[in-house]
Structure 1
Amino acid sequence: MSNAPSTPHQHTGHNPPTGMDHGAMMHGHSSKMDMGGHNHHAMMIADFKKRFYVVLALTVPIMLLSPMIQHFMGVSWQFTGSSYILFALSSVVFVYGGWPFLTGWLDEIKAKNPGMMFLIGFAITVAYAYSAAIVFGLQGMDFFWELDTLILIMLLGHWIEMKSVAGASKELDLLVQLMPSDAHLVTNNVTHDVKTDTLKVDDVILTKPGEKVAADGVIVDGESYLNESMLTGESTPVKKTKGDKVIAGSINGNGSFNVKVSHSAKDSYLSQVVKLVDDAQKSKSQTQLLADRAAKWLTIIALLTGIATFLYWYLTGQTFAFAMERMVTVIVICCPHALGLAVPLVVAKSTALSAKHGLLIKNRTAFENSRKITTVVFDKTGTLTIGKFEVSKIISLHSDVDDKEILRISSALEQKSEHPIATGILQKVKELNIAIPTAENFKALTGQGVEATVEGKEVRVVSPGYLKENNLNVPDSYQSDETETVVFVIIDNQLAGYIALSDQIRPESAGAIQTLSENHIKSILLTGDNAKVAESVSKTLGMESFIAEVLPHQKLEKIKELQAHGEFVAMTGDGVNDAPALAQADIGIAVGSGSDIAAETAGIVLVNSNPKDIVNLILFGKATYKKMIQNLAWATGYNVIALPLAAGVLYHQGILLSPAAGAVLMTVSTVVVAINASLLKVKV
């Protein structure tokens, strides 16, 4: 998959390291939002195909005119000028067939970065120059037919391998294609079709049944079920009604609805994902840098071994032609091609696959290091639990004040608060259609609750801690359920009643924790909630331990403590109040950030808050790393065996590789690496 003849090394903004021309090209081309790169890639595949067929057509006459082949067959078709015809045909093969390799060679010399193209260009030029000298009077046997078969197999190998590479980036193209090109814009109740990229913030668009949502936004009218699986990995369709957010690219069910656009196409969730995947595919992890270094060394070894092989055979009495052929074979076999592709192919495949399953990799090294995780620290609310507090009971302690009144009065205070408990109370009020009174003189009691004046009464909604601190008696009827969070309602200094709320544990949490422990990974609960709730949740889920009642800045200290004990820590949090802890952890995983991919401090973002995704991430990280190592082992191991054979170590035992056989072996090794990368899968 070399550089196209016309555009050598313009793929990325820098010169890729040895053996990376194809990897860099793949990243630079087949994953651009405008799909122009994709077309360029397709053109290059077509170019190699055409060159291959032209060389194939010339192979038959070249073979028939070659003295060595005639000698094998015991025939002689020599005639006046036959060697010049052979020379002319071989020159076409050398220039037209070898063009991609020759231009690539020049690029690598210019960049002072010798790699695969340098080796192939050097090998075919040596073979061609020597054979041409034979035609014009030098004594010896030409090897035009070997030059021809070498170029033929190289073209075929590159063509096959480029197709495999195109496959590795296919997932990203699928993400790009999710974006519908047209949208139905609604203005003054009239609908007309426009291009998606012309949509502006606050435009209203109609989404019909079965169509893809054209832009991120909020439903202003209508409802439907949406399939968001290609974006979030969530397989069940999600019900969306007025006021709900929708993501561009999700597929509508059988309802229709109007969406108010929240940002333009280039800022949409999907565009951000595509950009993120593209950046991650281009970014280099430690493993990639290791492979690049290995490829660099392999190039140097190839050249030195090639020259040493030539000198050895020539100085021990073999013919110049024999020594030359050994040198060419060694250099071809030693191409760091498979090595250069070993990691980039796995990177392209894994990053795009992850995005399809709602795992967005921002930092490649963090992702590859996920295999080292020994402890996962979970933030409770919204990750292990659903994160929605629901009113589980309302207890009145006064005959004058019934349950509804307690709820009505407390809701006046809670409508001013953003806290999940407040949201739970207001949700209940909405369900019961209770009118919320206004609150005056609102004041927050730090860490203990809120107070205000409602309808002339002094009202406080407070935590059990407030009662203890102010020596108020906890009512006899109050039996704290370990999983409930309770707020007390005090009206005019009299305890009127209390409201208990609970946050349900996610159904997937227990399975996720169990899988972690099967993989010998500890799970620890870290929460600002009270110790009783934390203990109950961690026991129910079978977690290793819990750390409760911690403030955001203390979370950072807890992570440091774990690291001091030699743990490799992954922290999951919502990326806002957990930012310091996410940054401190060896791997920061931001969860549930939905459309907000910019969870700056996290190396990995999980689109859903599902704890099962964290397990999938770790297992997929392990699988990805395994694939990289398999590829690197194969690419290096093949050289260790093939190189001595090419140099002629077993020549006296009658085993000798021809340049064409060397090219076949090199191609096979590259294709094995490409196929192995494409077998990577996310287990869900």
Structure 2
Amino acid sequence: MPSHCDLCGLPLRYGTITHSVDDKPLYFCCQGCRMVYTMLLESADVKDPARFRESDLFRQCVAAGVIPASEADLERLHASAAPSPAQPETDIPDSIPSDTLPLDLRVDGMWCPACAWVIETALSRVDGVAQATCHFTTDRLRCHYEPARTDPAQIRQTIVHLGYPVHDADAGDTGQLTLRRELIRLFITGLFSVNVMMLSWALYAGFFTDLTEDAVFKISLPIVLMASVAFVYGGGPMLRKAWFGMVHLAPGMETLVGLAAGCAYVYSFYNWLSGSIHLYFDTACMLITLVLLGKLLEQQARNRVRRDLDAFFALQPGKVRMVTHAWPSGRWVAIDQLVLGDRFAVEPGEIVPADGRVVSGRASIDESALTGEARPKDVKAGDSVKSGTRIIHGQVTAVADATGEDTVLGQMIGIMARGLEQKSSFEARTDRMLRGFVPLIVILAVGTGLVWMAAGVSLNQALVRAVTVMVISCPCALGVAIPMARLAGVSMAGRKGILVREIEAFERAGAVDSIVFDKTGTLTHGRWEVADVVVSPGLDLPTVIGWAAGLEHTADHEIARAITAYATRHDVPAAAVTDIRIHPNGITGRAGDRLLRIGSRAFVQDETGAAPDPIGETNHTPTSCIFLEVDGRQAATIYFGDMIRSAVPALIQTLKDRNKKVAIISGDDAHATRKVAQSVGIKAARGNLLPAAKAEYIDMLVQKGRHPAMVGDGINDAAAMARAHLSVAVHSGQALAAEAAHLTLMRGDPAQLLTVFDLSRQVNRKVTQNLWCAWVYNLIGIPVAMSGLLTPLLAATAMLFSSLTVIGNTLLMVVRMPDDGNKH
């Protein structure tokens, strides 16, 4: 073994990290050297480490502290352990210090996961960076930094010096840039507004009453200039929205605030030109400042609620490790180059880039991002993998079955994006109400001013009271009440593995009083399984199972696969069976000197002349059985059926406890449907129903005044789902785009229906509470403002607290809703 690092040349004094290229071992002094070598190998396709020492990237990594420049650096690197390159790409933990700010960026030019590791390590050397996580497959960097010690420019510069172009992230950083812009706008507006208030107080106190109009005009000039900056710069976006709202006859919250602030500013400007000291610039400025503060706090709350959704949308990979004859170990390429039938490799910490079928390798996969299921899933050759899932440990090579928008992740993202753009019928009614609400308030404000003037109040006081009415009645809370609760509901549903297609689903779920289940694939697993094996006296179960598996292991039909799977599940090896012959209704063979026969009742009867009866009884709900004979004597009866999901009996009982009517409809045999219904405690059951008959059954419930929910696979039950008040699809792995449902249970477990109802109750309750809060605030605030007991500043403060109450109430749902995705 050499005594010096193959890359940097420093002594291997603190341990050795090995890496093989074409079966040739290489030795490195630290993790940084190994990862940088991997990067350079991917980019330059040169296998000699010594040739990399003159490259720009090598020098930049030395300068950034990723590679040691001296033995002192090497000692420092080993003293403070660097992040492990094998750790999975994870989101920023919740233990980040509260005084840090987040920064999301898109990093281009990364060739392999080692690039992401180098960027993370380089940023960890930057003073003030608390945490940095770079996702190679999605080209995203997320870090938290202390603004007093560093800034985004320095973070960007560090990455650029390593040779990676950096841009604003498509979602996260756009929000951060907007946040910074709004913070700057709020700071400047607030600073000028405070100074305007201080100088205005001097005018109100009467310090300048003895001055001439010309002197007052000149002394008030600083107030006018600062107020103009606050009004134009701070209120610019809001005033533009107000103007376009009036032009298009769609006035909103900005219209009321814009009119109030505009009236105060224009009237004050006119008085200033006239030499009057009755200036209300402070009112206009503080109105804008408080509205900016409220919108900023609202945006922060929305970001908090959207956090789960943003993390979900960020799962879309930008690269894939494609496996070809030229690159059997895989080479990173853009995800757009992957097409159906291509092979790709996935290693620990990486996101699966496409839906596919594993052809080699074994791995444990985290599917929680798609299904909400926290337990890892083990996959091996022949199993399927979905895009957006993450490899925990192990590695697999898979063949792509679906790419891009056709994958499960792509379909989910498209569905969720469309769902968020929708408006519920209740929300649409509120929007129409607000369109009439704004003109009504303007009429009330003008009327208030005129009435007070008729009562003998001065024009100044009448104008102030009219402005106060417009400010206090600002429908901010009404505009926030439903969208905030709706967004929180969609976000939490996604976290629990529930895909929301129609935004009305929460409202509809709250009214459901009857649940109709499809049987196959919904209450049952939807696949043929061995339900039970009953053996004759004198024989043991493992031996019988081994004989059956030995006979069936060469056959290719549902019964053979079910018996083989049953033997594997019970750790019983297939017996050595010879002279196997496959017949139309059965199979014969020999185990040693014993003659084995397995098949249907007709197959056994043909050979023996007597029809066998099933041995004993089974506690399961079978739909069929076959018989095993040994040397002409009946040895076992093997019962088959579509097994009921383990959580179904508890689900049905809970629904009954909640006073829900439950029924089963199925296209399967009526007798089998009734037996399944009896075994889970359902009285109403109908079988032998075609899709049209299922839809008629739903129509019958609707005609009786019920609000039924149809729960099925979303495809075969499309007609019935279209007639139901609420349609819920139990995802079966088929195309999401073909499902006709308001909601999809991505875990494929009907017990998630309880989570749907719990979440619906939470969302609907918050919507109701928010709307009551908003309306009560207006019903009390408007009369008080019309009476003249409030000033515009008090009204603006009350408006701010009204919006914050609605926002805080919605956030309570996010904080308190338990993450009980595995509860049921």
Q: What is the SS of the residue equivalent to 1:36?
A: coil
Counterpart Cα distance in 2 of 1:436 and 1:202: 38
Contact residue 48 and residue 158 of structure 1 kept, 8 A: no
Corresponding position of 2:795:
662
How far does the alpha carbon of each residue in 1:33-78 deviate from its partner, in whole angstroms, 9 at most, with x for none? x963544443333222212111222234322322x55444878797
How far does the alpha carbon of each residue in 1:223-260 deviate from its partner, in whole angstroms, 9 at most, with x for none? 11111112101121111111111112212122111122
Counterpart Cα distance in 1 of 2:687 and 2:228: 77
Give runs of aligned pairs for residues 482-521 of structure 1, distance below 5 A. Answer: 483-487=621-625, 499-521=638-660
How far is 1:156 from its partner?
Answer: 1.2
TM-score by length of 1: 0.81
Q: Does 1:432 align with 2:574?
A: yes
Corresponding position of 1:148:
285
How far is 1:97 from its partner?
Answer: 1.5
Gap change, CA 1:134 and 1:534, over 3 Å in 2: same
Contact residue 394 and residue 499 of structure 1 kept, 8 A: yes
Contact residue 346 and residue 391 of structure 2 kept, 8 A: yes
Give runs of aligned pairs for residues 381-420 of structure 1, distance below 5 A. Answer: 381-388=520-527, 389-390=529-530, 392-393=532-533, 415=556
Contact residue 521 and residue 732 of structure 2 kept, 8 A: no
Aligned pair count reads 618
How far is 1:221 from its partner?
Answer: 0.7
Corresponding position of 2:68:
none
Gap change, CA 1:623 and 1:437, over 3 Å in 2: farther
Q: Partner amino acid for 1:271? A: G
Gap change, CA 1:429 and 1:230, over 3 Å in 2: closer
Q: Does 1:556 align with 2:695?
A: yes
Counterpart Cα distance in 1 of 2:601 and 2:756: 38
Q: What is the SS of the residue equivalent to 2:456?
A: coil
- When structure 1 is superposed on structure 2, of 224-233 and 429-438 the one drifting more is 429-438
Corresponding position of 2:223:
86
Contact residue 374 and residue 520 of structure 1 kept, 8 A: yes
Counterpart Cα distance in 2 of 1:577 and 1:61: 69
Which is bigger in relative contact order (C-alpha 8 A, separation at least 6)? 1
Q: Does 1:475 align with 2:613?
A: yes
Counterpart Cα distance in 1 of 2:384 and 2:614: 45
Give runs of aligned pairs for residues 224-373 of structure 1, distance below 5 A. Answer: 224-373=363-512
Gap change, CA 1:311 and 1:579, over 3 Å in 2: same
How far is 1:608 from its partner?
Answer: 1.9
- When structure 1 is superposed on structure 2, of 122-131 and 359-368 the one drifting more is 359-368
Gap change, CA 1:534 and 1:659, over 3 Å in 2: same
Contact residue 601 and residue 611 of structure 2 kept, 8 A: no
How far is 1:187 from its partner?
Answer: 2.2
Corresponding position of 1:65:
199
How far does the alpha carbon of each residue in 1:175-217 deviate from its partner, in whole angstroms, 9 at most, with x for none? 0222344332222214222233443222222211233222221
Gap change, CA 1:176 and 1:437, over 3 Å in 2: farther
Instruction: Give the percent of matched residue pairs that are identical in Structure 1 and Structure 2.
Output: 28
Q: Partner amino acid for 2:193? A: T
> 737, 752, 772: which is aligned to 1:633?
772
Gap change, CA 1:110 and 1:463, over 3 Å in 2: farther
How far does the alpha carbon of each residue in 1:119-144 deviate from its partner, in whole angstroms, 9 at most, with x for none? 22211111111101111116561111
Q: What is the SS of the residue equivalent to 2:747?
A: coil
Q: Partner amino acid for 1:668? A: F
Gap change, CA 1:495 and 1:582, over 3 Å in 2: farther
Q: Partner amino acid for 2:267? A: Y
Counterpart Cα distance in 1 of 2:586 and 2:331: 51
How far is 1:326 from its partner?
Answer: 1.0
Corresponding position of 1:8:
none
How far is 1:103 from its partner?
Answer: 1.0
Q: What is the SS of the residue equivalent to 2:332?
A: strand
> 571, 576, 579: which is aligned to 2:710?
571
Counterpart Cα distance in 1 of 2:633 and 2:439: 83
Gap change, CA 1:228 and 1:665, over 3 Å in 2: same
Counterpart Cα distance in 1 of 2:663 and 2:414: 33
- When structure 1 is superposed on structure 2, of 553-562 and 95-104 the one drifting more is 553-562
Q: Does 1:131 align with 2:268?
A: yes
Give runs of aligned pairs for residues 161-176 of structure 1, distance below 5 A. Answer: 161-176=298-313
Counterpart Cα distance in 2 of 1:97 and 1:307: 26
Q: Partner amino acid for 1:205? A: F
> 518, 523, 526: which is aligned to 2:665?
526
Corresponding position of 2:255:
118
TM-score by length of 2: 0.68
Counterpart Cα distance in 2 of 1:86 and 1:461: 98
> 168, 183, 198: which is aligned to 1:49?
183
Q: What is the SS of the residue equivalent to 2:736?
A: coil
Gap change, CA 1:644 and 1:406, over 3 Å in 2: same
Counterpart Cα distance in 1 of 2:261 and 2:384: 60
How far is 1:369 from its partner?
Answer: 0.4
RMSD of the alignment, in Å?
3.6
Counterpart Cα distance in 1 of 2:454 and 2:275: 19
How far does the alpha carbon of each residue in 1:490-529 deviate from its partner, in whole angstroms, 9 at most, with x for none? 99xx999964214443232222222212221122233345
How far is 1:394 from its partner?
Answer: 7.2
How far is 1:152 from its partner?
Answer: 1.5
Contact residue 346 and residue 624 of structure 1 kept, 8 A: yes
